[in-house]
């Protein structure tokens, strides 16, 4: 029996090791905003350090359907046609010059999140190309893509580890001084300093529980440590109270300074400041320009401005600033 159990126990140990390896692999990729499934080509090239130009060239995209792979092996093309997801992006073409801020706006379901996900290769384009620093992201080394792009979403994730460890995911060799500097930039240094264990405070369910806005600011500190030249930001802040929202906004101003930014915009101040606004509707860019031009043009943007950006005045809502003059 022991002869039988011995190898079995060993096997289950192996399984545990593999599982924990998978977990940590996943975690690292989650923080670095790259999916474990994506592959680096054998002849991949590095995106030149500090590249800030982002280009979408005639990008078409549809989400892969769950059973597409198995159906693709069948010869019944009509069956494949029936299960294909509809195209979500249809010929999206734009350039963000180094240091510019471009705002993506549009009705719900227009394709804004999908567009942002193609930059960090959560998905790859179906047709066309996304280029960073002139390099097609599919041809780039994953390391250079990771170094160049930083993503801040609404639900930034913190691990059940110390604050220092959470920050070091962005930059393993970061010194304490650099961490404090990033926390200061992210408007959260004071809070961390007030905790008895400071940087060594464990966060999460069984540790210190940050509020939504505080978590977002720790994520911004991570971004500041990482120092990417391109930032992809989903700025919805609906779940934050107005004080927290103001702090997140200050932190983002620091984080975006001098960087190329593609922002899924929900705030009036962002669209007003944007070098270019892209209005997406049903997977196409239907209007582009600056805030005042687009308001004057009287098209979809003008309507969105009236219905989204200029209606709500309740504190803590994403369009709260709309009532400011
Ligand atoms: P919102 O402002 O509501 O977040 P959005 O402009 O960001 O919308 P996307 O989330 O990019 O829009 O979605 C664009 C379209 O793609 C929608 O029709 C959506 O239903 C579809 N879609 C999103 N994710 C998937 C998925 N994983 N599989 C299939 N279709 C998807």
Query: In this predicted model, what pLDDT tens digit does every residue of 200-255 receive, in sequence order?
Result: 999 987 778 888 888 888 988 998 998 899 999 887 655 667 777 788 888 888 88
pLDDT of 180 over the 70 cut: yes
Tokens at 76, concatenated: 């019944």
pLDDT at 207: 79
pLDDT at 237: 57
Considering the entire predicted model, what is its pTM?
0.80
* Ligand 1 pocket residue status of 109, Cβ below 6 Å: yes
Beta bridge partners of 254: none
How close is the Cα of 153 to the center of ligand 1, in Å? 15
Ligand 1 atom nearest to 106, measured from its CA: 6
C-alpha distances out from residue 189 to 176, 180, 212, 242, Å = 12, 6, 16, 19
Q: Is 285 helix (H, G, I), strand (E, B) or coil?
A: strand
How close is the Cα of 113 to the center of ligand 1, in Å? 7
pLDDT at 189: 95
pLDDT at 205: 75
C-alpha distances out from residue 41 to 81, 117, 298, Å = 30, 20, 46
Provide CB contacts within 8 A for 196, sequence distance 6+. none
Mean pLDDT of the chain: 81
CA dihedral for 184, 215, 238, 291, sign (positive or negative): positive
Question: Per residue in 249-293, pLDDT tens?
Answer: 888 888 888 899 999 988 888 898 899 999 999 999 999 999 999
Strands 89-96 and 54-61: antiparallel
Give the ipTM of the model, two decimals please: 0.97
* Ligand 1 pocket residue status of 112, Cβ below 6 Å: yes
Rounded CA-CA distance 139/235 in Å is 29
Rounded CA-CA distance 281/287 in Å is 9
């Amino acid at each position: 029996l022991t002869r039988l159990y011995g190898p079995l126990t060993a096997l289950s140990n192996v399984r545990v090791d593999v599982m924990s390896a998978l977990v940590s692999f996943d975690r690292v990729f989650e923080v670095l905003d790259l999916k474990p499934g994506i592959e680096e080509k054998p002849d991949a090239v590095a995106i030149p350090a500090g590249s800030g130009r982002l280009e979408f060239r005639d990008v078409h995209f549809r989400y892969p359907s769950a059973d597409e792979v198995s159906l693709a092996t069948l010869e019944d093309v009509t069956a494949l046609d029936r299960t294909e997801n509809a195209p979500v992006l249809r010929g999206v073409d734009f350039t963000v010059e180094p240091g510019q801020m471009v705002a993506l706006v549009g009705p719900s379901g227009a394709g804004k999140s999908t567009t942002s996900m193609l930059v960090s290769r959560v998905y790859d384009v179906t047709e066309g190309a996304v280029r960073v620093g002139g390099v097609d992201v599919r041809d780039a080394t994953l390391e250079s893509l990771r170094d160049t792009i930083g993503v801040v979403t609404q639900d930034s994730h913190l691990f059940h580890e110390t604050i220092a460890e959470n920050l070091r995911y962005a930059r393993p060799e970061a010194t304490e001084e650099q961490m404090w500097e990033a926390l200061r930039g992210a408007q959260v240094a004071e809070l961390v300093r007030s905790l008895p264990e400071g940087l060594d405070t464990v966060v999460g369910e069984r540790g210190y529980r940050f509020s939504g806005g505080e978590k977002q600011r720790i994520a911004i500190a991570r971004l500041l440590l990482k120092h990417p030249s391109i930032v992809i930001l989903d700025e919805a802040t609906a779940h934050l109270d107005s004080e927290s929202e103001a702090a997140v906004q200050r932190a983002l101003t620091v984080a975006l300074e001098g960087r190329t930014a593609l922002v899924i915009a929900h705030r009036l101040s962002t669209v007003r400041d944007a070098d270019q606004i892209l209005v997406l509707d049903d997977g196409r860019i239907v209007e582009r320009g600056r805030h005042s031009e687009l308001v004057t043009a009287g098209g979809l943007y003008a309507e969105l401005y009236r219905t989204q950006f200029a209606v709500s005045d309740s504190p803590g809502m994403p369009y709260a600033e709309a009532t400011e003059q």
